Amino acid sequence: MSNESETLKDNLVTHHKGTHAKISFVEGKSVAVVEATSTYIPIEEFKKIFSEIGKLVDSKKITKLIFDKRKLTVFHQPSMEWYFTEWKEQMWHKGLKTHRKILPDNKVFQQSVKIGREKIKEEHPKLKFNEMDIQYKNTVQDAIDN
């Protein structure tokens, strides 16, 4: 399920459409949404997408990022490591401290995310992401509102 089928109270403005993901921002709010549009995002594309979000964080002063992973079926630990240890750290210093995630309805994927995150936490206990407000939500609207 993608957020296209959801009815949103807020207006999402498309900022960038990549081959594997789409970036939008919420009109009138400092919230950005990145939506996976394929079952897997290669690490090279993943880094491109998040560098594009970095630009949006600068220009729109984004403080909350919603990562809609519902289309994904494969979890890639090296991408997650880069995302947590490099990208999120840089963004923390720019004011992006709130992260909302929407996971696919796939137990193996969900469990892998959990294990992967714990692994990164164990290996990097001093990183800022341990202090970030990270929550899992079921819908984009819920993620925008809470």
**What is the nearest approach in angstroms of another protein to the Cβ of residue 85?**
18
Q: 87 and 54 in contact (C-beta within 8 Å)?
A: yes
| Residue number, 92 or 109, with CB nearest to another protein | 109
Handedness of CA 125, 100, 28, 20 (dihedral sign): positive
**What is the nearest approach in angstroms of another protein to the Cβ of residue 57?**
26
**What is the nearest approach in angstroms of another protein to the Cβ of residue 117?**
12
Binding residues for another protein, rule: CB under 8 A, are 39-40, 42-43, 73-77, 108-109, 111-112, 115-116
| Residue number, 96 or 116, with CB nearest to another protein | 116
Other Cβ atoms closer than 10 A to 75: 20
Q: 66 and 144 in contact (C-beta within 8 Å)?
A: yes
Q: 104 and 70 in contact (C-beta within 8 Å)?
A: yes
| Residue number, 42 or 95, with CB nearest to another protein | 42
**What is the nearest approach in angstroms of another protein to the Cβ of residue 115?**
5
| Residue number, 13 or 115, with CB nearest to another protein | 115
Q: Which residues pair with 127 in a beta bridge?
A: none
Q: 40 and 53 in contact (C-beta within 8 Å)?
A: no
